[in-house]
Chains A and B, each alone.
Chain A
Amino acid sequence: MSETPWPAAFADILARHLPLAEGPVPGDAALSDLGLDSLGTVSLVMELEDSLDIAIPDELLVAETFHTAATLWAATSDLLARA
């Protein structure tokens, strides 16, 4: 198991929205395969914004952003860096 490049807070939030994930979420696994559906995406976005104190702009709310943990972390860390 390789170490993940994101903080535990992000991993915890993510894991809560992936009903099918068992253990740490690999960076390259498709989130939809781990049970993230459209409604799950909505609550994931709201929790990320709330807990990490960021605002995810609408142009990032596309399938590419939520493809894998790595793509979602890339978008999130950009926003954190700008905050």
Chain B
Amino acid sequence: MEEELASAYDAARAVLPVLEDQAADTDRSAEFPVKAVDALRAAGLMGLLVPVEHGGSGGDLGDLVAIAGLFGSRCVSTALIWAMHCQQVDCVVRFGGERLRAGLLPRIAAGEVYLASVTTEAGKGGHLLSGDAALVGDGDQLRIDRQAPIVTGGGHAEGFLVTMRESPDADDHRVTLCYAERDQLTLETTGEWDPLGMRGTASAGMRLRGAVPPHQVVGEPGGFRAVAVESMIPAGHLGWSAVWLGAARRVLSDVLGMVRARGAEKVSDLTADRLARARIDVELVASYLASVRDEVLAHRRAGTSLAGMPTQIHLNNLKVAASELTFRAVDGLMQVAGLAKGYLRDSPIPVERVFRDLRSAALNYGNDRLTTMTGALALLDRDVTFAPAGLL
């Protein structure tokens, strides 16, 4: 492993106690985990995916998966904020123009720029690949005026990747992704943030108004679909799944510790069965995550597209399976932990918090949207292609 990457792993392990210590307070307050994210900034971890020549660690999506899992075991909100930042960074690294990359990536690596994502829009039902509010050309600037119902960490980001309809005349499927600096925008927070779980992500709605120069367009104008298929969706589904898996694994580990601490008392068959079921769910997610990760990495190494039907199906399935199985595992473990240790907010093990956090997993890009898509795509893959052996 390269030196930069090895020290990123060391830094990630070193920062875990910071994440752990603030997790309960962050959950209680529903405020952005400033202290934890500052620690990630200071440790250079915001630049995990930034190439070494731009001052980053030069990590790939496999490194994102590994470290997101570590963070997810300590604070699911902080882990998701970080994984989504890395998802945005991947888009800039792969689709940003030379000028944007050279200006922005070193600042990301230095921890100066946390990137938030602005893809949600009222009225489009959570559809990623369409847009309503349009970029308006104004001299040498592109004007943005956009409402977004959910912007994770928007109040604390220094930069935003924003999807906009390409122009006022363009069809709503012609979406342009552009980067906007905080000081290029006037930001207004809309609505309150008081959710069931993932409370630290502080994902209140925002209105963004401002203008950016054309070199801040990421990918081709109107060509967000390619950025989404090759970068935003795979990095998102891999990163989220890794966070949820890390969280469920930690709860399983804590509950095992709790059962062991009961001493020599024999474990009932019912408890043993419940522990086994949770273990099975966690193992299934771990191995499918590894399989899809390897498929994506192999495509990237080979320089081939991720747009093929089987790969799209696998990426969708990963998100759906990880969100459902990790939640199911924690739900079952709550039964093992019981009312006193499982259900109470001030329990020494965070079963209740992670349960609430993971309930969001099926909603964070809705599973229903993915399964209806996958079911239709599956009709075009009668062979039921697993990860292509030739690729791996």
Contact = CB atoms under 8 A, between A and B. Distances in A.
Contacts, number: 34
Interface residue SS majority, chain A: helix
**Count class of interface residues, chain A:** 10 to 19
Interface string B358-383: 00000000000000010011011111
B130 to A, nearest CB: 10
A58 B382 contact: yes
Interface string A5-48: 00000000000000010000000000011010111011001100
B173 A35 contact: yes
B134 to A, nearest CB: 16
A58 B350 CA distance: 47
B346 interface: no
Contact of A32 (B225, B373, B382): B225
User: Which of B171, B173, B379 has the most A CB atoms < 10 Å from its CB?
Assistant: B173
B173 A37 contact: yes
Interface of B: 129, 171, 173-174, 225, 305, 307-309, 312, 373, 376-377, 379-383, 385
A63 B305 contact: yes
Interface string A49-81: 000000000100111000000000000000000
B308 A62 contact: yes
Contact of B373 (A35, A39, A45, A63): A39
Contact of B312 (A35, A38, A46): A38
A33 B307 CA distance: 16
A58 B380 contact: yes
B380 A41 contact: yes
Given A20-B171, A37-B173, A61-B309, A42 B225 contact: no
A38 B171 contact: no
Nearest to A36: B173
Contact of A38 (B174, B376, B382, B385): B376
Nearest to A59: B383
Given A33-B174, A42-B379, A58-B382, 20 more contacts: A20-B171, A32-B225, A37-B173, A38-B312, A38-B373, A39-B373, A39-B376, A41-B380, A42-B376, A42-B377, A42-B380, A45-B380, A46-B379, A58-B380, A58-B381, A58-B383, A61-B309, A62-B308, A63-B305, A63-B308
20 contacts: A20-B171, A20-B173, A35-B171, A35-B173, A37-B129, A38-B376, A38-B377, A39-B373, A42-B377, A42-B379, A42-B380, A45-B380, A58-B381, A58-B385, A61-B309, A61-B380, A62-B308, A62-B309, A63-B307, A63-B308
Contacts of A58: 380-383, 385
Contacts of B308: 62-63
Contacts of B383: 58
A39 B383 CA distance: 18
Contacts of A41: 380
Contacts of B385: 58
B308 to A, nearest CB: 6
Contacts of A37: 129, 173
Contacts of A42: 376-377, 379-380
A61 B376 contact: no
A38 B288 CA distance: 24
A17 to B, nearest CB: 13
Contacts of A45: 380
Nearest to A56: B380
Nearest to B308: A62
Contacts of A63: 305, 307-308
B381 A61 contact: yes
Contacts of B173: 20, 35, 37
A63 B307 CA distance: 7
A32 B305 CA distance: 16
